[in-house]
Amino acid sequence: MGEPESIRAVRQAEYSGRQGTAKTEHCARFTAAKDEAIRKTKQRLTLELRAAGEAVSCRRGCNHCCLHYITASVAEGLVIVDFLYRNEAELRRFVENYPRWQARAGTVCTGFDRLRSLAQATGTPVEAYRASVGIAQDEYAAMAVGCPFLTGPGDCAIYAVRPLACAIHCSVDPPEKCAPDSLQAPKCYNVVPDEMDIAALSGFWKPGWSAMSMTMPAMVYGLLTRGNAFIDESLG
C-alpha cells in the first residue's frame, strides 16, 4: 500500500527543507527531555516499590496494555509523526493498520474526543464527565482492539517516542492478570513526572500544544494527513 497523496502533500509542505530540519531537531530535544523525565519518574517508583517489597513486572512482549484507550497531546503527536518520517517501514505499517483500527474503534473514540473538546472549550475538567468517560472506556476495553502501532511479535513500533500515558503505566502483577479475559484485576500504577518536569516539557511547544489531547492513533493520522490545519481545527 503506497503513501496516500494527502500524507505526501503535508510531508512536502511542512517537513522539507529548513522547516523540516528545524522540526526534527526540536522533536529530538523534546524526546531527550521527556526520556529524562521518565527515567527520573521510574527511578522514584522503583525505590517506592522496593520499600514495599514489590517490583515492576512489565517486560518486552507483554502488551496487554496496548489494548487500552490511549491519548496523546498535539506535541506528542508531532514527535511521533517525525519518528514515522524517519522510519519508512513503520509509517507504511501504520497507514496499513489505521483503517482497520478506525473501523473497529472509531465511533467510540470519536465520542471520547468530543467530550475532550467540550471540556477544553468550556474549561471543564474532563473528569466532570466521569460517567460518560467510564462507559466509553468500558466499550473500548470490551472490543480488545490492538493499537495500530502494535507489531506482529507484540512490540511497540514507536516505543522510542511512545506517549507519556504509555511510558508511565506499569504493573507489579504477573502479565496474565493484565489480559482482557483475566478474572483478577492487576495492580497497576500511573506515575506522573513532577511538576517541574511537566512544565519544562510544556515549554517546548506553543501554548495549548501540550494541554490539548485526543485519541492517539487519530491524532497521529490527522497530523499525517492534514498537518497544521488539523492542529488549528483541534485547538479551535
Q: Express each pLDDT in 200-211 by its tens digit.
A: 888 888 877 877
Whole-number pLDDT of residue 187: 92
Band of pLDDT at residue 192, cut at 50, 70 and 90: confident
Cell 490511549 identifies what position? 70
> What kind and span of H or E run contains 213?
strand 213-215
Say which DSSP state 126 is in. G
What span, in angstroms and rounded, lies between the C-alpha atoms of 218 and 35?
A: 24
CB contact set of 7 (below 8 Å; sequence gap of 6+):
95, 224, 225
- If one counts every other C-beta atom within 10 angstroms of the C-beta of residue 56, the result is 13
CA angle 130, 134, 137 (to 5 degrees): 135
Question: What residue type is assigned to position 144 of the chain?
Answer: A
Whole-number pLDDT of residue 23: 86
Whole-number pLDDT of residue 190: 84
Backbone angles phi, psi at 149, to 5 degrees: -95, 0
Per domain, the residue ranges of the chain are: 5-103+146-234
Q: Is the pLDDT of residue 117 over 60?
A: yes
Q: Is the pLDDT of residue 131 over 70?
A: no
Percent of the chain with pLDDT strictly greater than 70: 94
Cell 503527536 identifies what position? 77
pLDDT per residue over 75-116, tens digit each?
Answer: 899 999 999 999 999 999 999 999 999 999 988 888 888 877
Burial of 117 (0-12, 13-18, 19+ CB in 10 A): middle
Whole-number pLDDT of residue 22: 87
> What kind and span of H or E run contains 190?
strand 188-190
Closest CA to 167 of 177, 156, 180: 156
